[in-house]
A and B are shown apart, each in its own frame.
Chain A
Amino acid sequence: MTEATAVAKTPANDLGLEQDLADAVLGTWAEDTETAAVIAPDRILEVLTRLRDVHGYDFLSNLTCVDYEGYGGKLRAGIDARLEVVYNLYSTRRGGGSIALHVRVPEDDTVPSATSVYPGANLQEREVYDLFGVKFDGHPNLRRILLWDGFHGHPMRKDWHEAYYEEDAKPFRSRHPKGEYEFHEDKVPWAKNTTYPAGWDPDSWQEAVAYVPVSQAPQHEDKPHLDTESIVVNLGPHHPSTHGVFRMLTRVEGETILALEPEMGYLHRNHEKIGERNTWLMNMPFTDRLDYLNSMSNNWAYALAVEKLADIEVPERAEYLRVIMAEFSRIVNHAWSIGFILNDLGALQTPALYAIEEREMILDLFEAVSGARMMCNYMRFGGVVRDLPEGWHEQAAYLANERLPRALDELDRLLTENEILMARGRGVGYLSVEDLIALSVSGPMIRAGGLPYDIRKAEPYGIYDRFDFDIPTLPNSDIYDRYYIRLLEARESVRILQQALRDIPEGEILGGRGGYTLRAPEGEVYGRLEAPKGELGFYLASDGKTQPWRYHVRSPSYINLNALGPMSVGYKVADAIVILGAIDIVLGEVDR
């Protein structure tokens, strides 16, 4: 156990806080789980500020909420407050584990917003407000984010039921053996759950655009006779440059962006609510659909969290297989991302097709081992589900040792010194790395700003401590560096692959209880890994049943969008497209 979590384990003042804040700590969430300190709601900002400034916890990784209405476990006996807001803090400077803070809130009460301490709380607090109805005092822009304004209720609350609601938990009784089976078509989804909030009139509703902040004055102060006016323009949602259904609400003057707000939720399916109905294992194929370019990493992140919670061992060979799959997947992702950054720059299709050529080979390998190219569903709690088929290892070794290095070299030759790419990318979309960290941005984005923070090194999971690889960094934090860092990272992945494929031992691939009857012990856990797009974390809370009590995905694509607005201000509309492309989002993960 790392230093930080060990500190958090002991109650009250042993968070490491100075004496004057000791009374802000009310106790621990639970005595025998990986623990969190419970903080008095009115002192949370003081505690966060102190932790950030004095103790070095500069990265607010995860902010979410749990609804404990009807919770049957022992751990919360005698606690009335229904909702609990959870903060997971990390230090990007010294690495290591997290410190977790909880704030208990009665229904309809407010919590001070953490945005003044960690600007990165912005999108996450809006999500908590949207899905749980917790109001954050002092949040600059507390609106619904994934759902529209006419949505009635807060869907992640335990008493909210979806349109096709059958039961709280799967398996549904209607399926077997004698029950009356019903097809979805026979149900009328709009018979219930289609009420509007009180005082809401759908006919007279118009989306407000006035909220787009003008964060920069029009740029013609020296020419006051020019009668210019800024206007609001929607980029998206239906536009190929947005990489899915995503909207950028911008205030522009001429072509210069004065302010930009990301608007999302078009692909929202309440993944987390589905996750609470599912058994632990059933969630595994659903994680494939989050960042659908990297199902292997998603599988691993979820398996990692559950294994941490239920204390499951993973056999040696399975660890190697996981590393191999995850690194192949990182190459796939970075190749894709490079291709589409170029696409967004206007180099239509050629660089993209060149970049994703080897992706086909890797997907073929995924298909041969797992049965599907993209929805791999390959990992289980305690290992992986299938061993390598005949001939797989040779093909993978050929790719890792010969074809991929060659292909990356070719991509390098094709693009890196290209003058147009440099002209469009150098200095565009700049944001200092301190700002990026404050905005909770993770992954290649901060490494392109010069900070060598990679969870594979900072808090090694799996067997990453055994491999010899570097964390490439680049100094400029602009689009060009965000392109080039991905190429460098893909090269490091190739290095890891070569070592893993050389060293992989024979043996078991699935140990522990990988089965569908898993009952995770009561408690909470936050497990995370370095996904290709950044820090992918799963926050899970269990009441000891066969379903998770809370299943939350901390998705890098979503939280990296915190930086989209600040990065785009002052640049042209055409640059905003590339700035978005260089964040590398997948809407399946943004909207969940």
Chain B
Amino acid sequence: MFGTGLLKGLGVTLKHALETFEDDRESVPDRYKGSLDLGNNRKVIQQPIDQEGLLTIQYPEEKRLLPERFRYIPMLIWDSEKQEDRCTACGICAKVCPPQCIWIVRDSDENGKPVTRCSEFYIDAAVCMSCSFCVEFCPFDAIKMNHDYELAVYDRYPQLVYDMEELTVPLEYYAALWPTQYEEEQARRKEEEEQKRKQEEEKAARAAAKQAAAAQKAEAGAGAPKRSAAELQALAKERAAQRQAQTQTADGGGDDDAAAAKRARMEELKRRAQERARQRKSGNGSS
């Protein structure tokens, strides 16, 4: 009969309308059941996959819960435990970058000798295509993808060309955004460090044995006494302390204001990271 197809179709739309109406009639619609209320009308929304219909997210009050692997613009990791940038200025990220939006200048010490640290690091966010190759190929876990997508500015240049300061985030921030990957990575790094330490210990033991042998020989030949293992360790410690002091001055640049600003920024980022972690936790908990 002519018109049955039309009526059938209208039946489908009517069913949708009734369902939506039913949903909206409840004071707290159950379509929000996977979501997290941050108070003050702000919500983080996660629609469960078995939820019928599709809900409109009232951005910016409401935002979507981002999956861990969400990628936007890269960020540089400041290792808060070791108090140093993880980046060693090897430049692999700049080489693999498809739109070539990364510029790196390697730092050098006072003698002009290049060191494993960058003095400048730029990412042109307007050119970046969020492909995440830099992250995949970084051998030092120094560059990761940030989740922060609210980057709108009035001028493209220079606001969208991020420098090192703007790109750097503390490790905790990364850990909050990428919890699963962070755990895996930490386990792997620990293992690697453990191995390295063992190797070094073995090396030291071998060196000590050699020294002892040499000392015996020297005793026999009355040569000059070499440094003992304990002395060597003390020296290594001293050097490490020197290095740390150096990096700290390098960060702060000796300028107290800048240092304070950086500290404040790191604290702010940490606070935001904690909030994000809390959101994710409750988001996952309820789904």
Interface string of A56-80 (1 = CB under 8 A from B): 0000000000000000000000000
> Is B91 in contact with chain A by the CB < 8 A criterion?
yes
Whether B89 pairs with A177 at a CB distance below 8 angstroms is yes
Chain B residues with CB under 8 A of A386? 69
Whether B49 pairs with A176 at a CB distance below 8 angstroms is no
In the complex the two chains form, what is the Cα distance from A184 to B101 in whole Å? 10
Closest to A361 in B: B49
Q: A357-B54, A403-B50 are in contact. Are A175 and B104 (CB under 8 A)?
A: yes
Q: Which of A364, A398, A516 counts the most B-chain CB atoms under 10 A from its CB?
A: A516
Interface members, chain B 41-81 (any A CB < 8 Å): 47, 49-50, 53-54, 67-71
> Is B132 in contact with chain A by the CB < 8 A criterion?
yes
Whether A281 pairs with B114 at a CB distance below 8 angstroms is no
Interface members, chain B 103-142 (any A CB < 8 Å): 103-106, 114, 120, 122, 124, 127, 129-133, 136-137
Interface string of A321-345 (1 = CB under 8 A from B): 0000000000000000000000000
Interface members, chain B 77-101 (any A CB < 8 Å): 89, 91, 94-98, 100
Whether B9 pairs with A414 at a CB distance below 8 angstroms is yes
> Is A185 in contact with chain B by the CB < 8 A criterion?
yes
Whether B124 pairs with A183 at a CB distance below 8 angstroms is yes
Residue in B16, B100, B161 whose beta carbon sits within 8 Å of that of A175 in the complex: B100
DSSP class of A's interface residues: helix, strand, loop or mixed? helix
Whether A181 pairs with B98 at a CB distance below 8 angstroms is no
Interface members, chain A 363-421 (any B CB < 8 Å): 364, 367-372, 375, 377, 385-386, 389-390, 395, 398-399, 403, 410, 413-421
Residue in B11, B49, B71, B114 whose beta carbon sits within 8 Å of that of A371 in the complex: B71
Chain B residues with CB under 8 A of A410? 12
In the complex the two chains form, what is the Cα distance from A178 to B119 in whole Å? 11
> Is A286 in contact with chain B by the CB < 8 A criterion?
yes
Nearest Cβ on chain A to B8's Cβ, whole angstroms: 5
> Is B273 in contact with chain A by the CB < 8 A criterion?
no
Whether B94 pairs with A175 at a CB distance below 8 angstroms is yes
Closest to A356 in B: B54
Residue in B49, B54, B114 whose beta carbon sits within 8 Å of that of A399 in the complex: B49
Whether A416 pairs with B95 at a CB distance below 8 angstroms is no
> Is A54 in contact with chain B by the CB < 8 A criterion?
no
Chain A residues with CB under 8 A of B6? 418-420
Q: Which of B3, B11, B106, B132 counts the most A-chain CB atoms under 10 A from its CB?
A: B132
Closest to B98 in A: A282
In the complex the two chains form, what is the Cα distance from A175 to B95 in whole Å? 8
Residue in A174, A278, A390 whose beta carbon sits within 8 Å of that of B98 in the complex: A278
Chain A residues with CB under 8 A of B69? 367-371, 386, 389
Chain A residues with CB under 8 A of B105? 177-178, 181
Whether B9 pairs with A413 at a CB distance below 8 angstroms is yes
In the complex the two chains form, what is the Cα distance from A360 to B129 in whole Å? 22
Interface members, chain A 496-540 (any B CB < 8 Å): 515-516
Residue in A175, A278, A279, A421 whose beta carbon sits within 8 Å of that of B91 in the complex: A175
Chain B residues with CB under 8 A of A158? none
> Is B27 in contact with chain A by the CB < 8 A criterion?
no
In the complex the two chains form, what is the Cα distance from A515 to B95 in whole Å? 12
In the complex the two chains form, what is the Cα distance from A283 to B131 in whole Å? 11
> Is A189 in contact with chain B by the CB < 8 A criterion?
no
Q: A281-B96, A367-B70, A371-B69 are in contact. Are A177 and B114 (CB under 8 A)?
A: yes
Q: A177-B114, A357-B54 are in contact. Are A371 and B132 (CB under 8 A)?
A: yes
Nearest Cβ on chain A to B244's Cβ, whole angstroms: 24
Chain B residues with CB under 8 A of A398? 49-50
In the complex the two chains form, what is the Cα distance from A422 to B91 in whole Å? 60
Whether A175 pairs with B102 at a CB distance below 8 angstroms is yes
Closest to A286 in B: B98
> Is A285 in contact with chain B by the CB < 8 A criterion?
yes
In the complex the two chains form, what is the Cα distance from A176 to B103 in whole Å? 6
Chain B residues with CB under 8 A of A178? 105-106
> Is A148 in contact with chain B by the CB < 8 A criterion?
no
In the complex the two chains form, what is the Cα distance from A244 to B100 in whole Å? 28
Contact residues on A (Cβ < 8 Å of other chain), bracket: 35 or more
Whether B136 pairs with A181 at a CB distance below 8 angstroms is no
Q: A368-B69, A414-B12 are in contact. Are A181 and B106 (CB under 8 A)?
A: no
Closest to A166 in B: B100
Whether B103 pairs with A170 at a CB distance below 8 angstroms is no
> Is A350 in contact with chain B by the CB < 8 A criterion?
yes
In the complex the two chains form, what is the Cα distance from A281 to B13 in whole Å? 46
Chain B residues with CB under 8 A of A354? 12-13, 16
Whether B100 pairs with A372 at a CB distance below 8 angstroms is no
In the complex the two chains form, what is the Cα distance from A364 to B65 in whole Å? 11
Chain B residues with CB under 8 A of A284? 98, 131
Q: A175-B95, A360-B54, A422-B5 are in contact. Are A377 and B131 (CB under 8 A)?
A: yes
Whether A415 pairs with B9 at a CB distance below 8 angstroms is yes
Chain A residues with CB under 8 A of B195? none
Whether B9 pairs with A183 at a CB distance below 8 angstroms is no
Whether A371 pairs with B180 at a CB distance below 8 angstroms is no
> Is B21 in contact with chain A by the CB < 8 A criterion?
no
Whether A185 pairs with B157 at a CB distance below 8 angstroms is yes
> Is B145 in contact with chain A by the CB < 8 A criterion?
yes
Whether B129 pairs with A285 at a CB distance below 8 angstroms is yes
> Is A160 in contact with chain B by the CB < 8 A criterion?
no
> Is B2 in contact with chain A by the CB < 8 A criterion?
yes
Closest to A278 in B: B98
Whether A375 pairs with B103 at a CB distance below 8 angstroms is no
> Is A172 in contact with chain B by the CB < 8 A criterion?
yes
Residue in A171, A361, A371 whose beta carbon sits within 8 Å of that of B100 in the complex: A171
Whether A183 pairs with B157 at a CB distance below 8 angstroms is yes
Q: A176-B95, A414-B12 are in contact. Are A285 and B103 (CB under 8 A)?
A: no
Nearest Cβ on chain A to B68's Cβ, whole angstroms: 7
In the complex the two chains form, what is the Cα distance from A236 to B8 in whole Å? 35
In the complex the two chains form, what is the Cα distance from A278 to B102 in whole Å? 15
Residue in A368, A377, A415, A516 whose beta carbon sits within 8 Å of that of B95 in the complex: A516
Nearest Cβ on chain B to A169's Cβ, whole angstroms: 11
Nearest Cβ on chain B to A586's Cβ, whole angstroms: 18
Chain B residues with CB under 8 A of A364? 47, 49, 67
- What would 7 A/B residue contacts be, using CB atoms closer than 8 Å? A177-B104, A185-B156, A367-B67, A410-B12, A414-B8, A414-B9, A417-B5
Known: A371-B145, A389-B180. 17 other contacts (CB 8 A): A181-B103, A284-B131, A286-B98, A354-B12, A367-B69, A372-B71, A377-B132, A385-B136, A389-B69, A398-B49, A403-B50, A410-B12, A413-B8, A414-B13, A417-B4, A418-B6, A516-B137
A residues with a Cβ closer than 8 A to B are 170-172, 174-178, 181, 183-185, 278-279, 281-286, 350, 354, 357, 360-361, 364, 367-372, 375, 377, 385-386, 389-390, 395, 398-399, 403, 410, 413-422, 515-516
Which 5 pairs from chain A and chain B are nearest by CB?
A417-B5, A285-B131, A176-B91, A181-B103, A282-B98
